[in-house]
Amino acid sequence: MKPYLLELSNLNVSYPNGIQALSAVNLKIDEGGLWGILGPNGSGKTTLLKAILGLLPHNGKVLFRAQPIKKSAKQIAYVEQKGDFDMDFPITVFQCVLTGTYPKLGLFKKPGSSEKQAVLNALDKLGLMQFKNRQIGQLSGGQFQRVLIARMLVQNADLIFLDEPFIGIDMESEALIIHHLKQMALNGHTIIMVHHDLKAVREYFDKLILVNRTVVDYGATEDIFIGEKLKQVFPYYHEVVLA
């Protein structure tokens, strides 16, 4: 039997200030698909991604294809929230996207012509060719988010996490990004994305994870995006969205 792509058992995360952000999280995810993580502000969505990635101390089990996740770091990509980046860091769009090739390059190897070609292909797909030599600090929010997605395409990871990529960006960038995420999911990648806007959920996601200080429920969008499930996470808001 094929192991789960990702399996969390009894995951607990608390911060040094004593806040227990997540308790007793259990989750089993098969290969493939575009997953949305939904939950109110402060419900532990970012904490969940960071704990899975091993960026936060936690207890419980996190397995990737039945192995401790640390062993498979090259197969996993993380597109952080834009706010986590230092926009004054002196790096061009091309160089930034090229860093997506680093995880799979051997130690002390320099990116060669095939890596550079992959960067150009990704820049082209995201409509970024004319910005290739621009400093990242000189981009709009939507353009920078497209740079992060181009880097993610180049990284070509099996499992990809994104944290609210659509905050503060234009509709054209959002449409282009969701198009490429859907394309990657069709090609067998597994994508898990924190998303705040409930309006486009049915259109964007095959599957959903509801978070409210634990994983409340998860499964196919048509089974999860219904009043009785959403009520557990958005007690007031769900009626507006489903109306």
Enumerate binding residues for ligand ADP (CB under 6 A): 15, 17, 19, 21, 39, 41-47
> CA nearest 175: which of 148, 203, 150, 151?
203
Residue 41 binds which entry of ligand ADP, Mg ion, none, CB below 5-8 Å type-dependent? ligand ADP
Nearer Cβ to Mg ion (27/162): 162
Structure tokens at 118: 């992959």
The rounded distance, in Å, linking the Cα atoms of 2 and 20 is 33
5-64 binders of Mg ion (CB under 5 A): 45-46
Contact 61, 144 (CB under 8 A): no
The rounded distance, in Å, linking the Cα atoms of 162 and 46 is 9
CB 191 to ligand ADP: min, Å: 18
**Contact letters for Mg ion, residues 133-172 (x by CB under 5 A):** ----------------------------------------
CB 49 to ligand ADP: min, Å: 8
Residue 187 binds which entry of ligand ADP, Mg ion, none, CB below 5-8 Å type-dependent? none
Q: Distance between terminal CA atoms of the chain?
A: 42
Instruction: Quickly tell me which residue has 């090229």 as its tokens.
Output: 98
Q: How many residues does the chain have?
A: 243
Structure tokens at 173: 């960038």
Residue 142 binds which entry of Mg ion, ligand ADP, none, CB below 5-8 Å type-dependent? none
CB 22 to Mg ion: min, Å: 12
Residues in contact with Mg ion by CB under 5 A are: 45-46
